[in-house]
Amino acid sequence: MQPILKVENLTKVFKSNGRPDFTAVDHIGFELMPGECLGLIGESGSGKSTVANLITRLTDLSAGRVVLDGQDISSLSGRGLRDAYRKMQMVFQTPTESFDPRRRLGDGIGESLRNFGNCRAEVKERVAELLVQCGLTPDFAEHYPHQVSGGQCQRAAIARAIAIEPRLLICDEATSALDVTIQKEVIQLFGRLREQLHLSILFICHDIALVQQFCDRVLVMYKGKIVEEGVPDEVIQAPRNEYTKRLIESIL
């Protein structure tokens, strides 16, 4: 079976004047199979979010390849890249800031639908469906991001991400800004959507317990490198890498 996402030799070097270059992501590679949920854990600064930005091409790659559903997207731009976004969407860490403060939630959710050629009435109807699918009511489309709570806003962000029915969903710390009970609900929502839409998920997170509960496979990242890979239960019970051991000890 062909992987939905294949990352080869992915590297990001941040250059700055005067100071030495900083390698945020250091030649990493992994594969994500259709329907799989892959966790990516590591401390802050380990390069997890940069990986998300590189895969979605929001940041330019220094080296390496990103293959999405058999298509190399690492040198795409403009229209080609926009078409790639039909297959790949992202949920951000800060729900409220991921919506334009001057536009209603419905507008943000429907933006991709409009961009990919749906008419206004269709979009409105679809947005209402999406909101219900994500556990909100259709009238949320008329609210501004500052009027709703973080959890509600993150649900709306998830609705936006699944609007064009992508095959790959990247969750960049999507539950970190939420409190524990809401976190649980959002995780349940992800699980439900994953089944309904046959989503593959790259779940970036620093919470090992959450990853253990939700992911099929986990990658541990440290200083820009992948130091360990495996089934969450095994990685947590029998960590092979020195850093992974410390990471797990610090939590248990």
Partner 1 sequence: MTPTVRKPKIIKNSVRTRLIVFGILAVLLVICSLLSDHLTPYDPYLQDLSNAKAAPSQQHVFGTDRYGRDMLSRVIVGSRTSIFSTLLLVAIITAVGTVIGVFCGWHGKKIDTVLMRISDMFLAFPGLVFALAVAGVLGGGLHNAIFALAAISWPKYARIARSQTLAQKETPYLRAARLSGSGTVKMLAKHVLPNIIGPILVTSMLDIGTMMMELAGLSFLGLGAKPPIAEWGSMMSENRALFTTVPWITLAPGLAIFISVMIFNLLGDTVRDYADPRTRGR
Closest approach of partner 1 to the CB of residue 27, in Å: 25
Whether the Cβ atoms of residue 219 and residue 187 lie closer than 8 Å to each other: no
Specify the length of the chain in residues.
252
Q: Report long-range pairs for 195-199 (Cβ below 8 Å, ≥24 apart).
A: 196/133, 197/162, 197/165, 198/34, 198/35, 198/167, 199/35, 199/162, 199/166, 199/167, 199/168, 199/169
Cα distance between residue 201 and residue 210, in whole Å: 14
For residue 115, how far is the Cα from the chain centroid?
A: 21
CA-based torsion, 134, 150, 163, 50: positive or negative: negative
- Identify which range of 11-19, 111-119, 121-129, 200-208 contacts partner 1 by CB under 8 A: 111-119
Stretch that binds partner 1, among 105-113, 197-205, 206-214, 217-225 (CB under 8 A): 105-113
Nearest to 144 by CA among 160, 158, 162, 156: 156
Decide: 122 and 110 in contact? Cβ < 8 Å.
no
Sole binder of partner 1 in the list 136, 174, 215, 226 (CB under 8 A): 136
- Is residue 108 involved in binding partner 1 (CB under 8 A)? yes
Question: Is residue 160 at the binding interface for partner 1, with CB under 8 A as the rule?
Answer: yes
Tokens of 170: 């990247």
Binding residues with partner 1: total (CB under 8 A): 38
Min dist CB 26 to partner 1, Å, is 23
State the nearest-atom distance from the C-beta of 115 to partner 1, in Å. Answer: 4
Shortest distance (Å) from residue 94 CB to partner 1: 6
State yes or no: residue 101 binds partner 1 (CB under 8 A): yes
Q: Which of 21, 60, 72, 100 binds partner 1 (CB under 8 A)?
A: 100
Q: Where does this chain touch partner 1 (CB under 8 A) — which range of 5-13, 16-24, 81-89, 224-232?
A: 81-89
Which residues bind to partner 1, rule: CB under 8 A?
A: 56, 58, 78, 82, 85-86, 88-90, 92-94, 97-103, 108, 111-112, 115-116, 135-137, 140, 143-144, 146-149, 152, 157, 160, 164
